[in-house]
Amino acid sequence: MRPWIRTGTLTTAMVASWVAGGFASPLSSRLLPLVPPGAEIVAGFENHSGPTARGRLLLTTHNNRLDLDDWQALTGVDSKRFFDEIVEVAAAPSGGELSEHMLLVSGRFDRERIVRSLEENGARAQEFQGQRIHMIDPLSRERGDLVGVRWLAILNNSIGILGTQRLVQQALRRYADHAVTDSILYERLALLQPDVTSWNVLAPARNTARQLSFAQPYTAWAQLQEDADVLTVAVRFGKKIRVDFSIHANDGHGSEFFTRKAAMFTDALGAGPEPEAQRQLQNFSLEPNRVRGSVEFTSSQFEAWCDRLYTLRASARSSAAEPKSSPPPDLFRQR
């Protein structure tokens, strides 16, 4: 697979949660002001304590997933690090490929210890906006997968940034200017229920949208995103797991278009297209240019859905003409 294809790969991913505090609305995030306007994909999740708050669902790019893995590896020398929140950003300059990506981390870090480890391992450093920045070359396991040098910064031992130079520079400028959250992103997140613990906003520009496709092109997930201006998916983890969705599109599509999208959502989550399964859709709302709703799972039902997803990805991997050492194929990708 050619390297540029991987720059826009999208995936649905599940991970175990880390230790953290209580629930908070996405709008209270201290990382949102650092997100540059116009990002096509913004996804975030909080970490929570307790036996039921144990995971997250993310609609995110392959490179964002690598950024998260690499952040954990690069900061692993700090055994007392603490993560509160993660925000992942993907952008397509001039509406082209999703080549720009950035990870924002809120928590507590031993900056000096991490920096010392980076420099001992050859990371180059420079100053930008009054902050010490380190240049991170692609790690050995991802050469040919990630292209170019990433920037890493740790601000006040409490905010970490890792990503492509353009996005990190924009984030640092916004930090220096004490910027507020971009108004369009704020409005989109304001539509989420305030108790969600992870959230995802996909709003590709017109040119970018034409380049997005699913690795499994005939699935309900693939059909869900088609012709949508904004797709949001959010999850509330607890004794019951609630998955919310909202699709915004031009009202010229008509009510039939949005009703079909609601059915695709329940199908994508394994609820199935049958009328009795359709009733699992809760909090249903149909407006001239938007449809939204929720599906609720028990823990065992949600785990079964995750197992089906990973079986799908493993099956696709076994049939792909790629080296066995390559990562599992993502749920959807950029052409």
Per-residue model confidence as pLDDT tens digits over 240-298: 889 999 999 987 888 899 998 988 888 877 754 444 444 478 889 999 899 999 988 88
Q: Decide if 324 is inside a domain.
A: no
Most confidently modeled of 10-24, 94-108, 120-134, 299-313?
120-134
Do 40 and 127 reside in the same domain of the chain? yes
Rounded average pLDDT over 311-333 = 40
More confident residue, 17 or 228: 228
Do 45 and 131 reside in the same domain of the chain? yes
Question: Quick one: pLDDT band at residue 10, thresholds 50, 70, 90?
Answer: low
Count: domains in the chain: 2
Q: Decide if 60 is inside a domain.
A: yes
Each residue of 176-211: pLDDT tens digit?
A: 999 999 999 999 999 999 888 889 998 876 655 555
Of 29, 160, 26, nearest in space to 103 by CA: 160
Cα 118 to Cα 252: distance, rounded to the nearest angstrom: 53
Q: What is the pLDDT of residue 105?
A: 95
Q: Decide if 200 is inside a domain.
A: no
More confident residue, 181 or 213: 181
Do 249 and 307 reside in the same domain of the chain? yes
Cα 163 to Cα 169: distance, rounded to the nearest angstrom: 9
Rounded average pLDDT over 66-92 = 90
Q: What is the pLDDT of residue 335?
A: 28
Do 306 and 181 reside in the same domain of the chain? no
Question: Quick one: pLDDT band at residue 21, thresholds 50, 70, 90?
Answer: very low
Give residue 152's Cα distance to chain centre: 19
Q: What is the pLDDT of residue 177?
A: 96
Q: What is the pLDDT of residue 267?
A: 80
Q: What is the pLDDT of residue 281?
A: 83
Question: Quick one: pLDDT band at residue 58, thresholds 50, 70, 90?
Answer: low
Question: Quick one: pLDDT band at residue 95, thresholds 50, 70, 90?
Answer: low
| Structure tokens, 96 | 């082209």
How many helices (H) and strands (E) would you count in the chain?
A: 10, 16
Q: What is the pLDDT of residue 299?
A: 80
Rounded average pLDDT over 229-239 = 88
Domain that holds residue 60: 3-21+31-185
Sign of CA dihedral 180, 181, 187, 191: negative
Q: Decide if 255 is inside a domain.
A: yes
